[in-house]
Structure 1
């Protein structure tokens, strides 16, 4: 294999794929990136056996071929080469190493045979579903903060992507929950998505897909099956196993009859919560909310650090009541509100609260109160 490629193109493609490679691997080949040169293209593949990222870029290929090289080392080398440099990659059977050269710099990297590199099958995937990149970014950004990191409930360690029929129209919906809060965002279902199975996309896959969307065009092609999901972003593609489990019946926990409605300036509320939470006990980060007609009083008591109280004006005219929430969870939700106002709908003191964004009717958040 012998080729020449622009440093910027090489760095971009390696940046796309190398994050799929785990830093610590017991299987040596999984630390490598597969380089496949053919005609005027260089294709890169990296995998951790659960997820595979492929990207390709233009290159001047003098001799086609395939080889694998250490992914992170190669990326760091290319990152530190001068901007605008032309990089040559060459591997011959005579020297069992990959030669990377640019200007006066020359590196020799150990290699492993391309035939040993595992390839993820894409059999059984549905037809391509074209999704607007902006819409998919919105679904991910509005929900991924609520993905659970608790490994015991593995079926919550991902984003539940599925279609639903609501109000006579079909929606593509993303839902995440960790049992303490729930985030839901939806959009009009793209053409071809009807009948596609609902899948739980793993947390790492969601993060990598979100990163690749930054360099995608206007649409991304989505393919799903009961076992896998695939995102195609122009020249790049991400294929991943999905979480094998049943996502809980989340609709049951979304309040329907919360009739105590409070409207509050979102930025002022978030800053007030952040201030009083400064002295909260790190474990619970509990903020007590006393809601009265026209105002809300935020209180944090810590036996060691003292007490903080702050009062805010709100639009509320119902009965007075109190309840507590985790400050971090409150701030995570207020971060997602795009308009000036946040709408809180409460039931009783121990009932989950529904949080809405008046400027975006297609998002909903549920917060479980703390029992203190």
Structure 2
């Protein structure tokens, strides 16, 4: 195998692929990238047995072939090469070494046989559709903060992507919850997605997927089966196993009768929460919200650190209410608001609170209160 490739293209392709590689591996081959050169394209494949990424880049291929090399080492080498360098990679298939040459820099890396590299079995996908990158980016970006990190509740360790009844008919919906807060985001259902089985996309996959969704103009081809999900652009294919479990009936925890309505400037609210939370004890980070007509008082009292209080002018016309929340949860939810105003809907100090962006019901958040 022998090919030449521009340093920028190589860095992008290797960087995308190597990020799925686990730093600690008991199986040596999983620390490697599979490099395959053919025609005018080189593909870089990496896997951790649950996720597989294949990234293709244009190159001048002198001799077709394939080998595997340590992913992190190759990425570090390419990252430190000068911008605009032409990089030549070659191996003779016999020495067990890959040579990397760029200008006066010369590296030799140990390889492992390509036959040892595990390629994820292809799946029969029952549903195939395309969606614009910004649509998928919004669905996953706005829901991923609520993914649970509790390993015992493994079925909450991802984003539940499924078809649901939305405000305007069928919707492509993403839901995540950790039991303390919940995010439910809807988008118009793309043609072809009607029969899609509901799948739980793992947390790591959601993180890797974000890199495919940077370009607003890109169409993402999505394929879904009961056990796998695949997202593909012309250059990158991300295939992942889905979490084998049943996502709970989240609709039961979304309040429908919360009548006390607070409307507040989202950015001002987030800044005020952040300021008063400075004195809260790290363990609870509890912030009390005291609501009366057109006024919101945020306060924190910490026996160790002291106290803080801040008032905001808001739109609120219901009876007085005092309710406490984890400051981190409030900040994360407020950070999802793209519009100017956030609308909170309360019932009582002990019931879940609903939040949405203005009158837009396509993004709904639920947060559980705390005793303060």
Separation (CA, whole Å) in 2 of partners of 1:146 and 1:30: 30
Q: Count residues in correspondence.
A: 372
Separation (CA, whole Å) in 2 of partners of 1:94 and 1:216: 44
Name the residue aligned to 1:119.
119
Separation (CA, whole Å) in 2 of partners of 1:26 and 1:168: 50
Taking the TM superposition and a 5 Å limit, the aligned residue runs for 1:323-334 are 323-334=323-334
Name the residue aligned to 1:316.
316
Q: Secondary structure at the match of 2:25?
A: coil
Name the residue aligned to 2:7.
7
Contact 1:213–1:233 (Cα < 8 Å) also in 2: no
Name the residue aligned to 1:243.
243
Taking the TM superposition and a 5 Å limit, the aligned residue runs for 1:89-238 are 89-167=89-167, 169-215=169-215, 217-238=217-238
Separation (CA, whole Å) in 2 of partners of 1:205 and 1:94: 36
Name the residue aligned to 2:61.
61
Q: Secondary structure at the match of 1:95?
A: coil
Separation (CA, whole Å) in 1 of partners of 2:50 and 2:216: 22
Separation (CA, whole Å) in 2 of partners of 1:254 and 1:82: 53
Separation (CA, whole Å) in 1 of partners of 2:23 and 2:224: 28
Separation (CA, whole Å) in 1 of partners of 2:362 and 2:356: 9
Name the residue aligned to 2:256.
256
Name the residue aligned to 2:43.
43
Q: Deviations over 1:249-300 (max 9, x none)?
A: 1001111000001111212211111111000010110001111112111111
Q: TM-score, normalised by structure 2?
A: 0.98
Post-superposition, which runs of at least 4 consecutive aligned residues in structure 1 deviate over 6 A?
none
Contact 1:217–1:234 (Cα < 8 Å) also in 2: no
Q: Deviations over 1:156-183 (max 9, x none)?
A: 1100000012356110000111100001
The CA deviation at 1:303 is: 0.5
The CA deviation at 1:127 is: 4.2
Separation (CA, whole Å) in 1 of partners of 2:183 and 2:328: 14
Separation (CA, whole Å) in 1 of partners of 2:100 and 2:2: 10
Contact 1:216–1:234 (Cα < 8 Å) also in 2: no
The CA deviation at 1:211 is: 1.6
1:307 is aligned to 2:318: no
Name the residue aligned to 1:335.
335
- Provide closer, same or farther for how the CA distance between residues 51 and 264 of structure 1 changes in structure 2, counting only shifts above 3 A: same
The CA deviation at 1:227 is: 0.5
Separation (CA, whole Å) in 2 of partners of 1:33 and 1:127: 29
Structure 1 gaps, min length 5: none
Structure 2 gaps, min length 5: none
The CA RMSD over aligned residues, in Å, is 1.2
Separation (CA, whole Å) in 2 of partners of 1:264 and 1:31: 49
Q: Deviations over 1:324-343 (max 9, x none)?
A: 00001001011111122110
Separation (CA, whole Å) in 1 of partners of 2:62 and 2:338: 52
Separation (CA, whole Å) in 1 of partners of 2:90 and 2:30: 21
